[in-house]
Amino acid sequence: MPQITFWGHSCFLLSENGKETILLDPFISENPLSPVNVEEVKADYILLSHAHWDHLGDAYDLAGKNGATIISTSEIAKQAIKDGFKAHAQHLGGRHKFPFGSVKLTLALHGSGIAGGHACGFVVDYYGKKIYFAGDTGLFSDMKLIGELDSLDVALLPIGDNFTMGLDDAVIAASFMQAKVVIPYHYNTWPLIEADPKEFKTKVEDKTGSYCIILDPGSSYSF
């Protein structure tokens, strides 16, 4: 049974016993909410939504130690390859098959953190379960299409405002996605992005057909 583990801010680990692990936006060593030591982290694939410091995080260090493949936009992947790491380049709207399933890059309304690039989100098909990771993004109406094109088991949505969607916009995003389960992230790392996940949960379950699960850093959800 696939499992998703939250390590604070925007960092998640997808895992299943004995199978490939996928790390999303591995901001760990400088993350004040992280419950893990970066030296203990193992991953086969690292998905980077963009290259801002609080998302790129420990990606290069972990890719080097684990021989992991970085999956991201062309600009980020090419920079990773130039720096000596394994990477697979994709771009917005493109899907590629991997041993665990597939990864599709989606639009994200945010800065790229790298010259000439784009930020992105991901739809990950992980052993038959579909997970949408929004990255850092504002609300956009084409989120409806993401939910229509892929029947989502889990949608991971930022709620912290200021740099991303705020709580109420994220509720609208959840109504667009119609995922079975919604999990919030990118909140309460610093005072500037404080948000109440319990309020988000109440609004999601009142206004959408989704169930909201709040994960404390270090906790997991199996699905």
Report the C-alpha gap between 164 and 161 in whole angstroms: 5
How many CA atoms within 13 Å lie on the side-chain side of 165?
A: 26
Q: Which two tokens stand for residue 13?
A: 């680990």
pLDDT in tens, the chain (223 residues): 999 999 999 999 999 988 999 999 999 999 999 999 999 999 999 999 999 999 999 999 999 999 999 999 999 999 999 999 999 999 999 999 999 999 999 999 999 999 989 999 999 999 999 999 999 999 999 999 999 999 999 999 999 999 999 999 999 999 999 999 999 999 999 999 999 999 999 999 999 999 999 999 999 999 9
Query: Strands across the sheet with 211-212, in order?
Result: 95-98, 101-107, 120-126, 129-133, 154-158, 181-185, 211-212
| Domains, the chain | 3-222 (3.60.15.10)
The answer to whether 58 and 42 are in contact (CB under 8 A) is: no
Q: What is the pTM for the complete model shown?
A: 0.97
Lookup: tokens for 200: 């988000």
Q: Which of 105, 95, 174 is nearest to 139 (CA)?
A: 174
Apex 93 CA angle, 204 and 201, nearest 5: 10
Phi, psi dihedrals of residue 103, rounded to the nearest 5°? -135, 130
Residue 162 CB: number of other CB atoms within 10 A?
12
Distances (CA, A) of 13 to 38, 132, 154, 220: 13, 13, 13, 9
Radius of gyration of the chain (CA): 16
Q: Are 165 and 137 in contact (CB under 8 A)?
A: yes
Contact 189, 8 (CB under 8 A): yes
